[in-house]
Amino acid sequence: MAPMNRKTKPTFDPKALLATVAPGRTTKQYWKGQTIFSQGDRADAVFFVERGKVKLTVLSGQGKQAVIALLGPENFFGEGCLAGQPVRMSTATAMKDSSIVLVPRLTMIGALHEDAEFSELFIAYLLSRNIRIEEDLVDQLFNSSEKRLARILLLLANFGKEGRPERVVPQISQETLAEMVGTTRSRVSFFMNKFRKLGFIEYNGGLEVHSSLLHVVLHD
């Protein structure tokens, strides 16, 4: 008996999804350091990184800031409004000159309702983001600051994803890394020097991350 032909599940194409909401979307250019939205702002739109890089941060009532995500091209953010989130829980800032697409909440909801296939893929995208957040939480709770830094560098360099690992671009300051790791800048500096001396990273017109850095993450 001939094997049954199985339908190949389409891959998530965010640009194709955005094409379905062309009449309602707008594109805006943000320069490096410009705020896209602030914590506490009204949440009424979903954003998409067309070009550039965006940093999401949260500020506690005591004034302590933490970096919760760095997002590159083809990433959505601000999608909490789709679940009824009334205000922004974080601040989004352009880390480099960026092109950001804004889709009004109601426009996005309407598009997802009208196209079941893209709705399924968008939900899968959100679930994968949720898994990443859970992994970050486990990392923060149980791993040392050295391991957390190594993992963040590997993620920034795209290790574990399809395609060839890249340099960490744009350059990430040690202050930002410290906020992501949850430690001090001096500790980050100490570990970065250690990684460099061991050959795990190098500075060559940009920060190069080598796969050997995985040993820090995997070693007990």
Long-range contacts for 36-41 (Cβ within 8 Å, ≥24 apart)?
36/92, 36/93, 36/94, 36/100, 37/78, 37/88, 37/91, 37/92, 38/88, 38/91, 39/88, 39/89, 39/90, 39/91, 40/87, 40/88, 41/87, 41/88
- What is the rounded end-to-end Cα distance, in angstroms, of the chain? 50
Kindly tell me the sign of the dihedral angle through the C-alpha atoms of 193, 198, 202, 207: negative
3-state secondary structure of 131: helix
Q: What is the mean pLDDT of residues 24-44?
A: 94
CB 49 within 8 A of CB 98: yes
Q: What is the pLDDT of residue 103?
A: 92
pLDDT of 1 above 50: no
pLDDT at 161: 56
pTM (two decimals): 0.74
Predicted local distance difference test score (pLDDT) of residue 164 = 56
* pLDDT band for position 91 (cuts 50, 70, 90): very high
Orientation of helix 174-181 relative to helix 145-156, angle to 10°: 120
Provide the token pair at 197: 């001396």
pLDDT band at 6 (very low <50, low <70, confident <90, very high): very low
pLDDT band at 138, cuts 50/70/90? confident
Could you report the per-residue pLDDT of 185-207, keeping only the tens digit for each? 999 999 999 999 999 998 877 78
Whether pLDDT at 98 is above 90: yes
Residue 87 is given by DSSP the state B
- The predicted model gives 130-142 an average pLDDT of 83
Residues 138, 193 contacting (CB under 8 angstroms): no
Greater confidence, 195 or 2? 195
CB atoms within 10 A of CB 65: 12
Tokens of 11: 């891959």
- Lowest mean pLDDT of 48-62, 117-131, 175-189, name the range: 117-131
- Looking at residue 64, its pLDDT comes to 85
pLDDT at residue number 2: 46
Q: Is the pLDDT of residue 181 over 60?
A: yes
